[in-house]
Amino acid sequence: MKEVFNTASKVIVTCNRRLSPYLQEEVVALGFEIKRAFNTGVELYATVNECIKLNLNLRTASQVLYEVGAFRAADPKELYEQLVKIEWEKVIPFDGYFTVTSTVHNEHILTPLFANVKVKDAIVDRIKEVKGVRPDSGPDLHKTAVHLHWMEDRAEIFLDTSGETLAKHGYRKHPGKAPMLEALATSTIMATKWDGKSPFINPMCGSGTLAIEAALIAQKRMPGLQRMNYAFMHFIGYDEEVFFEDRRYIKDIADKHNIPKIVASDISEEAIEIAKMNARTAGVEHLIDFEVCDFEDTTIPEEHGVIMFNPEYGERLGTHSKLEVTYKRMGDFMKQKCKGYRGYVFTGNPDLAKKIGLQASRRFEFFNGKLDCRLLQYELYDGKKS
């Protein structure tokens, strides 16, 4: 196997469905050239040292996968035979620990767990044959991670440089009710084209994810500052100075001044306490004005910006008749008190969305888990529409 830290190979950066446009934006901003984009990620060409930069900076990604092999494998036997040829002893410590994940669509595989076992067997057998010792393996993603992508008779094997998913940003120790995934929250904010300088208002904030992500974006504070363990740290050849240099850089570019007004309100005192705790962990509590109040009493600064609601939408919480009234009140509130702002409502319920009573100027498609959702944009004109 090639020395992975300084040798470029195909890299797949994955994301949740419908987040790919926002991931592409981030990857290009970091100076990488995208070879191919698809619904759940992008393909580029990079070394593992460059993957360190991706892991530290990306807000919308899930995993950063570095390819170490691609081959034909019609069945599990062929898969094993190809995998055992790879020089795993050059990347996985013989006294270390590794885990295997997979995406598999092959007629011989009824459960991905069976494919995972085949990969584990090949790696362990190879290392034991060369080193005389077998590494441990299991389900935890806290050390070396390997990912198999096997479609019909085409298999690709990757080093997962991330380990634990990047889609969670490490500050949400108290999730609250039906929380929004951090990568999804960031993507919805990116969809608004918010400039990070004008006010960001988040009524009905729940556990605070949207307001916290807005504060992190405004501060240019990257997710990597919340995390000190990645899978790449457990590969043979890892130079911690590369990691610390990249980490120092993202620490230095964080802007602690010129932060816009960010307001997060909720009628629930408990929700606001949870949101404050999460913001504290993220290092941005001092940047957010938290208010316990009905959303109609949320402070709306005169300087125009973005107001975003992520209300209940009847799939997991609340009841429809109450929510119909709430959605109508949201529309009235935006129309009457938020003139000059751009309004946004994230919902998975098109029937309830109609109750807002405003004409959406744009609709952005997202998934929240498996739920088909929309981020609806409203132009809240100040005075007459020009």
Q: Measured between alpha carbons, how far is residue 64 from residues 4, 143, 235 in Å?
A: 14, 15, 14
pLDDT digits (tens, 9 = 90+) for 87-132: 999 999 999 999 999 999 999 888 888 999 999 999 999 999 999 9
Measured between its terminal Cα atoms, the distance across the chain in Å is 63
Position 365 scores a pLDDT of 98
Residue 123 contacts residue 83 (beta carbons within 8 Å): yes
Confidence of residue 36 (pLDDT cuts 50, 70, 90): very high
Confidence of residue 386 (pLDDT cuts 50, 70, 90): very low
Position 385 scores a pLDDT of 52
Which residues does 106 contact at the CB level (< 8 Å), separation at least 6?
A: 75, 115, 150, 151, 152, 153
Position 11 scores a pLDDT of 98
Average pLDDT of 6-19?
98
**Contacts made by residues 276-280, CB under 8 angstroms, sequence distance 24+:** 276/208, 277/173, 277/174, 278/171, 278/172, 278/173, 278/174, 278/207, 278/208, 278/209, 278/212, 279/171, 279/208, 279/211, 279/212, 279/215
| Entry pTM | 0.95
Closest among 17, 13, 28, 8 to 62, alpha carbons compared: 13
Q: Mean pLDDT across the chain, nearest whole number? A: 95
* Higher pLDDT among residues 386 and 118, named by residue: 118
141: tokens are 């993603």
Position 121 scores a pLDDT of 97
Which residues does 69 contact at the CB level (< 8 Å), separation at least 6?
A: 82, 83, 86, 156, 157
328: tokens are 């109508």
Give bridge partners of residue 157 from the DSSP assignment. Answer: 69, 148
pLDDT digits (tens, 9 = 90+) for 156-173: 999 999 999 999 999 998
Position 317 scores a pLDDT of 47
Confidence of residue 194 (pLDDT cuts 50, 70, 90): very high
pLDDT digits (tens, 9 = 90+) for 317-374: 445 678 999 999 999 999 999 999 999 999 999 999 999 999 999 999 999 999 999 9
Tell me the torsion sign for CA atoms 150, 156, 159, 161: negative
383: tokens are 């005075």
Phi, then psi, of 45 in degrees rounded to 5? -125, 120
Position 255 scores a pLDDT of 87
Position 384 scores a pLDDT of 53
For residue 51, give the 3-state DSSP assignment: helix
Whole-angstrom Cα distance, residue 177 to residue 273?
Answer: 13
* Alpha helices for the chain (secondary structure H): 20-29, 48-57, 76-83, 112-131, 182-191, 209-218, 240-253, 269-282, 320-337, 350-354
Look at residue 316 and tell me whether its pLDDT is greater than 70. Answer: no
Position 379 scores a pLDDT of 97
Structural domains in the chain, sorted by start: 9-160 (3.30.2130.30), 182-220+256-379 (3.40.50.150)
Position 109 scores a pLDDT of 87
Using alpha carbons only, what angle is made at residue 47 by residues 45 and 53, rounded to the nearest 5 degrees?
Answer: 100
Burial of 26 (0-12, 13-18, 19+ CB in 10 A): buried
pLDDT digits (tens, 9 = 90+) for 215-269: 999 999 999 999 999 999 999 999 999 999 999 999 999 988 889 999 999 999 9
